[in-house]
Amino acid sequence: MRRFSLSVALASAALLAALAPVAAFEVDMIDPATHMPLLPHPELLRGGSAQPHESAIPKETVGYNGPFGPGTIVISTSERRLYFVLPGGQAIKYGVGVGRPGFEWAGAKTITRKAEWPSWTPPSQMLRRRPDLPRHMAGGIDNPLGARAMYLGSSLYRIHGSNEPDTIGQAVSSGCIRMTNNDVTDLYERAQVGAKVVVIR
C-alpha cells in the first residue's frame, strides 16, 4: 500500500485550491509519479482557454527486448505508439498521433533541439497546401505544437504536443508525431538532445 506524507497532501490540496479558476485541468494536473500538481501554462492562469481533457491513451511501463539501448525513442506508426527505452529491459509506452496517408515515413533521426511552448512557423510546403495558415504563431496553449517540441535532425518533423488530444492514436498529421501535452512534457524531461529516434512502419 502506498503511503503519502500529510504535508505533501496538504500542499497539493492548497495548490489545487489556488488553481480553482482552471478547473478543467484538475483531473490532469496530478503527476502520477510524485502525486504533486502539474502546473499549466501561465497563459491559463491569466484566464486563457483551457486544454480539452487529455484522456487519449494512458502511458504505461512495459517490457522491452528490442535492439535499441536506453534513451532511444522508438515509434511504431502502424501501432501508433512511442516507446522510450529504459534500462533493465523496460520502456515507457505512449500513445501518439502519426502522419496521415501520403505523409507516412520511416527512418532514424536524432533530436537536435528541444523547446518549451515553441512558436510555430509553417513550412513553405504546408503553406502551399494551406495558404490560410498563419505565417507565424507564438508559443502558447492555442499553438498546434503544444507544450513541448523535440526537433528531428534537419527534417521538418518534430515530436510535439497537441491542443487536439482526441487526435492521439490517429493518423492525421503532416508527418510529425503528436502527443498529449502531459505526455510530451513527460518525454521531454527524459529525452536528451542527441538521442536517437527510430521510426518504423
Q: Where are the domains of the chain?
A: 6-45, 60-200
- Nine-digit cell string for 85: 527505452
Residue 21 confidence class, pLDDT cut points 50, 70, 90: very low
CA 48/CA 177 separation, integer angstroms = 26
Answer yes or no: 160 catalytic.
yes
pLDDT tens digit sequence for 96-148: 999 999 889 999 999 999 999 998 777 777 778 787 776 677 778 888 899 99
Query: Which is the catalytic residue, given 35, 41, 53, 176?
Result: 176
Rg over alpha carbons for the chain, rounded to the nearest Å, is 18
Answer yes or no: 53 catalytic.
no
Q: Given this model, what pLDDT does residue 11 score?
A: 41
- Nine-digit cell string for 140: 502558447
Q: Are 109 and 153 spatial neighbours (Cβ–Cβ below 8 Å)? A: yes
Residue 26 DSSP code? G
Query: Which is the catalytic residue, given 35, 41, 136, 160?
Result: 160
CA 179/CA 167 separation, integer angstroms = 9
pLDDT of 30 strictly over 50 = no
- Give Cα separations from 33 to 38, 97, 176 (angstroms): 11, 24, 28
CA 174/CA 82 separation, integer angstroms = 17
Level-2 CATH architecture, domain 60-200:
Beta Barrel (2.40)
Q: Of 107, 109, 75, nearest to 93 (Cα)?
A: 75
Q: Which residues contact 69 (CB under 8 A, 6 or more apart)?
A: 85
Q: Given this model, what pLDDT does residue 16 score?
A: 38
Best-predicted range by mean pLDDT among 93-97, 127-131, 151-155?
93-97
